[in-house]
Amino acid sequence: MKKSIRSIIHLQILIFSLLIILILLFSTAVIYGSYQKKRISADFRYELGLAANDLSYRIIYAEENLKALSSRSMIKSALSDLTEGTRTLDETRKYTQDKYAEGAAVYNLLIYARRLDSRGRIIAEYPPDHDEYIPHGGEELSFFSNERGCHILLSNPIVNNGKTVGSDQAVFFLIDFSSTDYNLIRNLSINRESLTVKLFPSLVSSYPLEGTGYYLRGELDIQAARRLRGNAFLIAVIQALLIIFSIALVSYLTIMRSIIRLIREDEEIREKAARQEKEALVGQIISGLSHEINNVLTGIYGLVDLLSVTEAFPEEGKAYTQSLSLSSNRMARFIRKLTDYNRQSISDWKRLDLSPALEKILTGEKEKSGPEINITLDRKEQGLSAGIGFHHLQQVLSNLFENSRSAMNEKGTIGLILEKLDSLPERDCPHCDEILKGHWIRLQVRDSGYGISPKDRDRIFDPFFSTTGKEGLGLSQASGIITRYGGHILLEDSTPGETVITILLPPWGEK
């Protein structure tokens, strides 16, 4: 039955955990999908902004190079002579070409450059005869692309003594868009107009190129975005699963701990009820048995008394009546023990100073013990008192000492230790299932007997259980008395050569 209940509970917990996991995974997918869209969009615009800034820097660098090329004074003076007619076109070309080519060769991004006079005639170029690099259109600044990449066409006037005498036109290489290492951008292009599309994943955005009037336009690389989303989502799912697993594990352990505690409490209640029912049944049997046996003993005592005063009764028969009387007395003592066990009470509950009480009890036990038994008392602390009747404590210790003497075959050492425990580590009492903690007065009885076998350790406090053939009420009676005074009696250790039984009593005033 318990196994079926546990299986049903485990199944319900498993189904509930799976449902929670599915809900959390779905929520994670929705929330993380929205988050990833925003993040990818922001990363895409950030990368496009970096590309536009890099391209603007390259444009400025090209403009500065062209200005440096146009500022060479010797070449400017030759154009002035040509404009004023003091030098012919052929002389100007011959004078200018080598110097112009030498100056243009130092610029590593320069693809083609040429110098024009005021009438638009080519005076010099670098490299020679490559004017196909110059697109037609006549703009001072323009961009064009070919198989080599993206280029910029720049034009810069040549001014000498405040008069424009010609111009320089140059083509600089800017970037090869096909070989960029951007993660989220594709189809980069330079355009006159700005275009923005915010519909994910077909994102298109434009960034201005500083000082040019043009825009760098780029599109989101959908495949790269999907890969990024997939990888990020997988990582997020793994992280979510780890978190969910941790929460589920903690929840499962917490729930199982509660279930185990409830099952254990239920078992303890059942065991306690069974024990009480057993004690009640034993009490009924003892009451009935005592009544019937006492009736028989009354008759036997009367007959023995009558025979002992009858003069006609032969002398040899009196020995038999004495033996019958002794046997009847033994039976009467046993019946009194049964009755005491069945009617244990704590009517004499009062404060008891333990040190003098134990000395008095041990004095009586030493008189009952043989000369080869050594009984010692070790008081770790003076002035300890507990709420227990003296006669009940004497009865408990007498039962324990009787068992010790029997286990040692009337030869050995019995030690009694008295001390106060300010703190006791939490543990369960095996008899009443209460949690033992807090302050206690501990009485330990140690003997050097043969010990208790492992198979008997859980039964030694049961009524009528005995390993010596006696009535088996001593430890059961001791356990009942100590329990009724709010204490506990425990078998701490039992090995050949040492048995330790601990009595825990609440200090006076802490009951």
pLDDT of residue 421: 84
pTM: 0.44
Q: Which of 438, 458, 434, 352 is nearest to 396 (CA)?
A: 352
Tens of pLDDT along the chain (511 residues)? 455 566 666 667 777 777 777 777 667 666 766 777 788 788 888 888 888 898 899 899 998 998 888 887 667 788 888 888 888 888 888 888 888 888 888 888 888 888 888 888 889 888 876 666 666 545 567 888 777 788 888 988 988 888 888 889 899 988 887 777 777 888 888 888 888 877 766 788 888 988 888 898 888 877 777 776 666 556 666 766 677 677 767 777 777 777 787 777 777 777 777 766 776 666 667 667 776 776 777 777 677 777 666 766 666 666 667 777 777 777 766 666 666 655 554 555 678 888 888 888 888 888 888 778 888 888 878 888 888 888 888 888 888 888 888 888 878 888 888 888 877 776 667 666 677 777 888 888 888 877 777 777 777 777 666 666 565 567 777 777 888 888 888 887 767 778 888 888 888 866 5
Q: Which of 113, 215, 123, 213 is nearest to 173 (CA)?
A: 113
CA dist 447 and 494 (Å) reads: 10
Residues 6+ apart with CB under 8 A from 126: 100, 101, 104, 105, 110, 112, 113, 114
* 3-class SS letters over 58-82: HHHHHHHHHHHHHCCHHHHHHHHHH
CA dist 37 and 28 (Å) reads: 14
Which of left, alpha, beta for 144 (phi over 0: left; psi -120 to 50: alpha)? Answer: beta
CA dist 357 and 362 (Å) reads: 9
For tokens 């199982």, the residue is 256
pLDDT of residue 139: 56
Q: Please state the φ and ψ torsions of residue 212, each to the nearest 5 degrees.
A: -115, -25
CA dist 229 and 401 (Å) reads: 80
Q: Largest alpha-carbon pair distance within the chain? A: 188
pLDDT of residue 137: 47
pLDDT of residue 257: 77
Query: Can you read off the two tokens belonging to residue 220?
Result: 């989101």
Query: Can you read off the two tokens belonging to residue 425?
Result: 């580590």
pLDDT of residue 1: 45
pLDDT of residue 343: 53
Query: Can you read off the two tokens belonging to residue 126?
Result: 């670098």
Q: 3-state DSSP call for residue 486?
A: coil
CA dist 430 and 436 (Å) reads: 10
For residue 112, give the amino acid letter: Y
Q: Which domains does the chain have, with CATH numbers?
A: 2-220 (no CATH), 228-338 (no CATH), 347-505 (3.30.565.10)
pLDDT of residue 471: 56
pLDDT of residue 315: 66
